[in-house]
Amino acid sequence: MQETADRTGLACDKGHVYPYAPGTQIPVFADAPAGSSEYSIVDAAEIHDNALRWLFATFCTDEDTLRENLISRLGLVPGQSLLVTGAGAGNDLPYIAEKMEGRGTIHAQDIASQMLLAGASRHGDALSAIGIDIRFSVCDATQLPYADRVFDAAYHYGGINLFSSVGQGIAEMNRVVKPGGKIVISDEGLAPWLLNSEIGKQLVANNHLYACQAPIALLPETARDVKLSFELHNCFYVIEFSVGDGPLPINIDVPHVGRRGGSIRKRYAGRLEGIDPALKEAVYAEAERVGESRVDFLEKALRAALRT
């Protein structure tokens, strides 16, 4: 989507106009209704700050340690372009800018304008001052307003469990990142071995999101170099993967050597209707007697039958 800016908002080449948030040049593509969650209320950022202080105190760590640990997994280098989904009040942005050494572009997105605008106010000028091209937008992470393959990496921390569709949120990050680019996603979610432990039950009773499981099954089939790990004493999952380009390099036509024979393609796509079990066993026995694989024997018999 090509966009042009004016004083009131962005207009795309299809005639859609997206207004700026009042008093800013931050486009609003989609905004959560005011009061629809704890992130879309007045003073949402300050309330979230309090929640973070509880988090770090409870898990006996500090913000610098956690955020640097997670962001380091992106392998950022100066000059890259990064998408941050669910950026909230922008707590990760200074750490990302440091990894980029003040050179590069950061697109920070959130669907709650109250949080996103607080992040822009807190960090926008400071990041611009050190050379980062920082761009904020209020939009839906499951319908990102970006073309395919435009970012070098994508990052998300602490919010994907609440997406309207977790799978679509992951798919969108995968769509907008270039092949070979890295994606890192983290949120509340106990490691499976803690779910039925006493501390696990206490955490879930305190916040039901700790019962969420890492959405590893929702990754695209082209995901490469996938890693699943846990932080905060195995209470937050971390998924890392690289964006693949095209189908997996698997040759499904390599023939098997042995009594059964065939290939992956033949065994999957070439299955026929059922026959009498006794006849099946007789066919297998005859194939073994003449020294052919079952697939070769059956294919030869079928071809012969089709010629009659």
pLDDT tens by residue, the chain, 308 residues: 445 556 688 888 777 889 999 999 999 999 999 999 999 999 999 999 999 999 999 999 999 999 999 999 999 999 999 999 999 999 999 999 999 999 999 999 999 999 999 999 999 999 999 999 999 999 999 999 999 999 999 999 999 999 999 999 999 999 999 999 999 999 999 999 999 999 999 999 999 999 999 999 999 999 999 999 999 999 999 999 999 998 889 999 999 999 999 999 999 999 999 999 999 999 999 999 999 999 999 999 999 999 86
Beta strand pairing status for 104-110 and 132-138? parallel
Summarize the chain as % helix, strand, coil (round to 5). 40, 20, 40
Question: What is residue 20's DSSP assignment?
Answer: B
Which pTM does this prediction carry?
Answer: 0.91
Return the closest-CA partner of residue 222 out of 187, 253, 246, 202.
246
Neighbours of 295 (CB within 10 A): 20
Supply the pLDDT for residue 15.
79
**C-alpha–C-alpha distance, residues 297 and 284, integer Å:** 9
Supply the pLDDT for residue 5.
57
